[in-house]
Amino acid sequence: MDEKKWAQETAEKIKRKMRLVAERNRHKIPYTTENGVFDDWSGDRICWWTNGFWGGIMWQLYHATKDELYREIALENEEKLDVNLMTAEGMNHDSGFRWLPTAVADYRVTGNKASFNRGLLAANDLAGRFNPAGQFIRAWNDSGDGSKAGWAIIDCMMNLPLLYWAYEETCDPRYLHIATLHADTAAKYFIREDGSANHIVAFDPVTGAFSDTFGGQGYAKGSSWTRGQAWALYGFILSYLHTRNETYLNTAKKVANYFIANTPENGLIPVDFRQPADCTLEDSTASAIAACGLLEIARALEEKGELGATESRIYHSAALKLLTALSEKRCNWDDGCDHLLEKCTAAFHDKTHEFAIIYGDYYFIEAVWKLTGEELFIW
Ligand code: GLY
């Protein structure tokens, strides 16, 4: 396969379709589609963790095309998120997912001062969730009974770049300390010997002692929820890129090696690598996120001389296998349908599975842009 040609053609198909999709959904913040039409989470669901990805898609398209339509839609998405910053119970560890693809992206592209403020307020809130006892960032809220005060989740690795950004902008090392202390805790308690990852780890929030692990959105305790594996894979390589700490690169490689070894022959990723053998449920989001992380590992290794470059090819071709499988078998290229990726799954035990999810589309576009050189670095 001519990889460059494939990437260019895929990017062109995305641009053609997304111009129409953006135009007809310009005032929404979509999560999924109903009969191929995006829904809208702008109203009373505005604090949902995925509400930054539509803006992120717009920034990636703007960066690649300079079409003002995309910048305008991204700004509308960013401004709508301000309600989050005034809603304590709506704030959680997912600040990175919400403000890196919106306000921080805007600030990086335009230097907008209001966007800088949003990013910094969100980073301060995220830093405030750090528990010095167990050295972890608390994931979710509870009803005020403290039942989730000791819960940390692997997804948070993807939110740490908001703290790295705040550190890089302000030179205040507290952001860096909190991000790296959490990453060290995650490497120790979430990543298992074989490179698979726990979804949820509970600590005693008073003493910081390890307490338990939970299956979370995966099949069961001790199983291997594939999106969680993907968050770990991409999250650790991002921590390496921001700190140049080799331990994070090695952790990312360990998780990636496990992911590659468990990738089915057809390149399509199940919801959990340890789901029952007769279960065929898939999650295309895990595939797109992992592809992004694999491409970053490959890029990092390329900088490490001849041996690194040789090793790099393993991760690069693993990413290509995932992306070509998605493009050929799981992309909806119909211009009349709003979503790109099909067969995305939020959680194994949910009632519904295999539908469109906005962050699947976001990471698929980001991965293709990594190959064409059109990516805006969001994380
Ligand atoms: N961060 C939540 C999820 O991946 O579903």
- Largest Cα–Cα separation, the chain: 57
| Residues acting as catalytic residues | 94, 155
Residue with tokens 């959105």: 217
Backbone torsion region of residue 146, taken as left when φ is above 0, otherwise alpha when ψ lies between -120 and 50, otherwise beta:
left
pLDDT tens for 150-200 read: 999 999 999 999 999 999 999 999 999 999 999 999 999 999 999 999 999
Mean pLDDT on 344-366: 98
Mean pLDDT on 335-340: 98
Note the pLDDT of residue 146.
97
Residue nearest to atom 1 of ligand 1 (CA): 155
Which atom in ligand 1 lies closest to the alpha carbon of residue 158? Answer: 1
| Dist. CA 304 → ligand 1 center (Å) | 33
pLDDT tens for 28-72 read: 999 999 999 999 999 999 999 999 999 999 999 999 999 999 999
Note the pLDDT of residue 1.
87
Give, for ligand 1, the residue of 227, 350, 358 to mutate: max count of ligand atoms closer than 8 Å to Cβ: 227
| Dist. CA 87 → ligand 1 center (Å) | 20
Confidence class for position 242, pLDDT limits 50, 70, 90 = very high
Which atom in ligand 1 lies closest to the alpha carbon of residue 346? Answer: 5
Confidence class for position 256, pLDDT limits 50, 70, 90 = very high
Percentage of the chain beyond pLDDT 90 is 100
| Dist. CA 305 → ligand 1 center (Å) | 36
Pocket of ligand 1, beta carbon within 6 A: 49, 155, 217, 227, 346
pLDDT tens for 282-335 read: 999 999 999 999 999 999 999 999 999 999 999 999 999 999 999 999 999 999
The yes-or-no verdict on residue 15 having pLDDT over 90 is: yes
Q: Is the dihedral of CA 249, 250, 253, 258 positive or negative?
A: negative
CB 55 within 8 A of CB 78: yes
| Dist. CA 76 → ligand 1 center (Å) | 24
